[in-house]
Structure 1
Amino acid sequence: MMTDLINRNYLPDKEQLKRTCKVFSRTSIVIGIITTKICETIKRRNNNKVKCVWAAFEPHNENHIVFVIVTKKSNTDLDFKPEYDVKYRKDGDFSSESKEVILQESDRGLFPEEHEIINIQECINKYTSKLMEKHSNLTIISASLLKCKGYGTQKCIKESKACIVLHVHIKGLIPLRESVFPTHLDGFEVDVREGCFQLDSGKGPHHKHQNVKMGCGIKAKERDDCGTLGGFLEHPKYGLCALTCAHLFIDETPPGNVKKTFDQEGIECMQPYHEYGNTEGNRFGMLKLIFTGERRSVREYPVSLDYALIAVDQNRKPLDGSFPYAKPEEWSDAGFKKYPPTFETGKVIDFHELIQKRSRHNVVKYGSTSILTCGKIPWNAGQYRSIGNEKVWKNQIQINATKNVADEVFSKSGDSGALVFHADDEDNLTAVGLLVGGNGDLGFSLATPICDILADINIQNLKRFNVQDDSNNGIIYPSNSTVTTPENSSFDHCCRKLFAPIISLWRRLFPEQERKPKLKRD
């Protein structure tokens, strides 16, 4: 009878819903039909203001149904206000618990041991598919070295232990026909925190660089989403290409693997871009390839990739491995002694190789929105999905923000596509990953492992600028320099001493003949 009423668009009131829930279980088909109809009605009558609506229950009161209304803006005045118990939450808003815990990890100097990193990743990979399938409110799976209990109360404690963190949009409310999270996974305690993942594409102002650089703001013509030019590589088919994220060029991430090439008619890409469509003369290249999907990593576990290749126009090609301007004090605050650092070698490093270096895994990135930020890489087992999207991204590198950066965030909207670098004690940069997103209130961001992207393209390194490898010792020298060995050092010294007066006289007599040495290109 109740289902007949529902089919005639009759909705029970709050008390009728409570009585019905006592008669039927919360997981029954009848309750499912009723609550689905209520959710659809709330969404339809507030379509421009509400992103989604779902029915939930409280863990200690299974018959108390609460409708979660996710609004597009804060403090939304709905056209249709339901008389049921409701919980309003703006899309992307959540508590600061995750960020507070991440920053406290940094304050305490906590860092995982190699065996913890490996065991956590194996555990997360083992359970990701099952957890994502059974829990529709699960947005991110990550790891932490602090287990938080009683957040928001005077009895809040943060215990030092490796744990697996399950992020949801709203804590304390569970989708109606689902179960509570497990408390342990293979011996690791589970911590539940609020948080959701956002791809870091957005809008922002930029200066024009005739010779484009890593960190420049870019976007496709006639698209709104913008991001960051990550780095450069030599593609066997397309030549010199800029690397960035694929999600800048697609509206929604489709299920499965999507590889699209633009051999005949590419999409124009702009640097800089402007808010009001004034893009004439700012094209720097043509989109040639996008890939979003999954492959086996270089370590044989599944890893999700999100990358795009843009063939750079001849008149906009980069000259070196420099970045756009950042203040000297910003580089200094990030721990650099040299100003400004550059990325000339094109070298990349696998996450597990980074672990073996036994450094603290300090990393930096230059994004077109947040500019220069630094962080630490503790884990490479981040799993996430955006709200409203069922596709799960696997085994992304987790980058925790540190307190010595502005706003205590590693990335912001518009930073998607930026390269993430490991910096050694000599300020040498090595690429670790390609930033895909995060959320400032989470306290961490996620990046796709760069080695897996290059393996998918079937190349080993990014673009090298003005450097060459010495096969004897692996040291990088400028291409116009001479490598001095014990065998030729004294001979070179004698030659320089003998010809120095002659060269000096020649330069004074024939200054117009002076030529700058040509730089060797790859």
Structure 2
Amino acid sequence: MQLTATPFICSVLLQYGADANIEIPFKSFEKILFVAESNIQIKDLKNATAIRLATLFRHKDIVKILLKDSNELEISKCLRFLERRRTRYDIISVISTFIKGKLEEKYEKLNLIVIYCYVAGNRRHCRFLAYSRNVVQTIEGRIYDIKYLIQNPCKINVKEILADLQNRNIEESDRLTVEAAIQHHGERLFKNHSNLNVISGSAIKSMKSGSILKRKPCVVLYCSSKGYIPFDEDPFPKTLYVGKKDVDVDVREGYFALCPAGITMSEWNNPLRIGGSIGKKGGLSGTLGPFVELSDGSLGFITCAHVFQNDNPGRNVEVVQPSYSSFAGMDITDEDRKCGFLLHKVFNCNQEVDAALVKVLKRHPERALFTIGSTEELLETGFEVNDKPLFDDGSIKETIDPEDVKKIEIKFGCKTGLTRGAFRLRGCSVRVAEATTFSSPNVVMKNQYEIQSIGPTSFFQPGDSGSAVFLVDDTNRLHCIE
């Protein structure tokens, strides 16, 4: 006897009223089924329905057709059966995609991104995990008898972050080892773990969700939801081997996002100043970076490319200061806002570049002045009222040497103003994660400098994209970090 079925036959049967949920006595087919697949047990087949049979024998096209006519209990039984046989990713994908669609339909207004995952340490304990920026508290429920969680992807574990902020200094030898581990394993980690957002380092290893802290240098893997692993992936490694050492791994919740702003405060500057708000009509805001001399002798300035993510360079892309989403501090016309046009942009993750070049047409500066909001900002960052920072000499710092790690860095951004920080790590890797940005392409930026904030103000916030970061030497001279 041979059992045959095709998607066409199933479609015709359903079209003419066949019941997909009828149970079929299976005793007479025991031998055939054992020959077909020896690890299928009779308890899995007793009184089986059409979708259970199609699932058992991996007829994914038939499973796809039967899903919409099968009841919730049968679909959940199929998925539970597959959880015990994890090699059947093709069938798992068909059923989980169907349930994801139902979950997205139920919460249509939340714009969910749904993944099917298992709980770390228990590969049979599965969940549907959904992300939405439109939720504050986690939403829990069940769909097809499987638990689901809806979370905001930008949530973090405050205990771990606060502990790390207080103990961020890594000894030079340990820091070099951590950086080498990131350099050696980073590409493979991003390839193998879709929920990985940032690879960094720390002097502190956290355990039990931050309730236990141990001073030990480690590589930190920041993911969207700690403890949940996409179904077809392995858990994060516990150690990374580099040279002749095993470096510990600490998994935490965290995310990375490009930071153009929708609303920011910045006055109209005449002449233009480093740190002012810039943008385009109908677009996002960024920060005016350092001035540069162009090949034709004219003046330009650097900012970030992702503020102009959908634009082609040319005179048709007019750049304004301040941006249209910014408060100008006075009544100004559209013509007054214009300051230049987009000349060139590069967003290349392989070259670690996110930069745009704007040619200045109006309000040319004679000196490289900064937008400094108050005397307090100057004093907090180590300057004096009669010794304001300038960048007239155009000094560039191409590489960060070990002795530079102990020096102060400052930044002028249109959102946070003048802030200061200290180097934490050279060579951290970040992914503009799809779960956190809801955009594509899903790119990895390698070999990034990581700077920690010093003082009451965050070193960087949304709206500061394009800001220049300067290393301050012992004489308060500024060196722009490349």
Provide TM-score, normalisation by structure 2: 0.77
The separation in 1 between residues aligned to 2:147 and 2:93, in whole angstroms, is 17
The separation in 2 between residues aligned to 1:235 and 1:47, in whole angstroms, is 50
Q: Which structure 2 residues correspond to residues 23-422 of structure 1 after superposition, within 5 A?
A: 23-25=84-86, 28-75=89-136, 82=143, 84-106=146-168, 110-113=169-172, 115-153=173-211, 156-157=212-213, 159-186=214-241, 187-202=246-261, 203-223=263-283, 225-237=284-296, 239-251=298-310, 261-262=313-314, 265-275=315-325, 279-294=334-349, 303-313=351-361, 315-337=362-384, 339-353=387-401, 355-357=402-404, 360-388=406-434, 389=440, 390-402=442-454, 404-406=455-457, 409-422=458-471
1:38 deviates by: 1.6
Indicate conservation of the 8 Å contact 2:412/2:468, yes or no: yes
Deviates more, 1:46-55 or 1:376-385: 46-55
The separation in 2 between residues aligned to 1:69 and 1:278, in whole angstroms, is 45
The separation in 1 between residues aligned to 2:197 and 2:302, in whole angstroms, is 27
The separation in 1 between residues aligned to 2:79 and 2:148, in whole angstroms, is 14
Indicate conservation of the 8 Å contact 2:196/2:222, yes or no: yes
Deviates more, 1:366-375 or 1:16-25: 16-25
Indicate conservation of the 8 Å contact 1:269/1:287, yes or no: yes
1:215 maps to amino acid: G
- Residue by residue over 1:335-393, the C-alpha shift from the partner in whole angstroms, topping out at 9 and shown as x without a partner, is 3245432222211113333x234x51321111101112211112121211122142111
Indicate conservation of the 8 Å contact 1:421/1:430, yes or no: yes
Indicate conservation of the 8 Å contact 2:197/2:254, yes or no: yes
% identical aligned pairs:
25
The separation in 1 between residues aligned to 2:324 and 2:398, in whole angstroms, is 36
2:280 maps to amino acid: A
2:335 maps to amino acid: E
The separation in 1 between residues aligned to 2:251 and 2:271, in whole angstroms, is 47
Indicate conservation of the 8 Å contact 2:138/2:152, yes or no: no
1:160 deviates by: 2.2
1:397 deviates by: 0.6
Indicate conservation of the 8 Å contact 1:112/1:378, yes or no: no
Deviates more, 1:54-63 or 1:240-249: 54-63
Over 3 Å counting, the alpha-carbon distance change for 1:76 and 1:123 in structure 2 is: closer
- Residue by residue over 1:292-326, the C-alpha shift from the partner in whole angstroms, topping out at 9 and shown as x without a partner, is 1156xxxxxxx41000000001x311221221132
Aligned residue for 2:181, secondary structure, equals helix
Aligned residue for 2:400, secondary structure, equals helix
Aligned residue for 1:395, secondary structure, equals strand
2:256 maps to amino acid: F
Deviates more, 1:204-213 or 1:232-241: 232-241
Indicate conservation of the 8 Å contact 1:210/1:316, yes or no: yes
Over 3 Å counting, the alpha-carbon distance change for 1:222 and 1:269 in structure 2 is: same
Over 3 Å counting, the alpha-carbon distance change for 1:22 and 1:194 in structure 2 is: closer
1:8 deviates by: 3.8
2:120 maps to amino acid: P
Over 3 Å counting, the alpha-carbon distance change for 1:275 and 1:19 in structure 2 is: closer
Alignment match, 1:428:
477
Q: Which structure 2 residues correspond to residues 504-515 of structure 1 after superposition, within 5 A?
A: none
Aligned residue for 1:316, secondary structure, equals coil
The separation in 1 between residues aligned to 2:138 and 2:178, in whole angstroms, is 44
Indicate conservation of the 8 Å contact 1:18/1:64, yes or no: no
Q: Which structure 2 residues correspond to residues 10-29 of structure 1 after superposition, within 5 A?
A: 10=68, 12-13=72-73, 15-16=76-77, 19-25=80-86, 28-29=89-90
1:376 maps to amino acid: A
The CA RMSD over aligned residues, in Å, is 2.6
Over 3 Å counting, the alpha-carbon distance change for 1:176 and 1:97 in structure 2 is: farther
Aligned residue for 1:128, secondary structure, equals helix
1:237 deviates by: 4.7
1:27 deviates by: 5.9
The separation in 1 between residues aligned to 2:137 and 2:249, in whole angstroms, is 34
The separation in 2 between residues aligned to 1:241 and 1:122, in whole angstroms, is 37
Provide TM-score, normalisation by structure 1: 0.71
Over 3 Å counting, the alpha-carbon distance change for 1:278 and 1:147 in structure 2 is: farther
The separation in 2 between residues aligned to 1:130 and 1:281, in whole angstroms, is 50
The separation in 2 between residues aligned to 1:286 and 1:417, in whole angstroms, is 16
Higher normalized contact order (CA 8 Å, seq sep 6+, divided by chain length): 1
Indicate conservation of the 8 Å contact 1:288/1:309, yes or no: yes
Alignment match, 1:486:
none
Over 3 Å counting, the alpha-carbon distance change for 1:46 and 1:77 in structure 2 is: farther
1:425 deviates by: 2.9
Over 3 Å counting, the alpha-carbon distance change for 1:17 and 1:363 in structure 2 is: farther
1:45 deviates by: 4.5
Aligned residue for 1:199, secondary structure, equals coil
The separation in 2 between residues aligned to 1:232 and 1:356, in whole angstroms, is 27
Deviates more, 1:20-29 or 1:381-390: 20-29
1:288 deviates by: 0.5
Alignment match, 1:518:
none
Over 3 Å counting, the alpha-carbon distance change for 1:410 and 1:77 in structure 2 is: closer
The separation in 1 between residues aligned to 2:365 and 2:63, in whole angstroms, is 67
Aligned residue for 1:343, secondary structure, equals coil
Over 3 Å counting, the alpha-carbon distance change for 1:182 and 1:217 in structure 2 is: same
Indicate conservation of the 8 Å contact 1:243/1:309, yes or no: yes
Deviates more, 1:285-294 or 1:11-20: 11-20
Aligned pairs, how many?
402
The separation in 2 between residues aligned to 1:221 and 1:149, in whole angstroms, is 48
Indicate conservation of the 8 Å contact 2:381/2:420, yes or no: yes
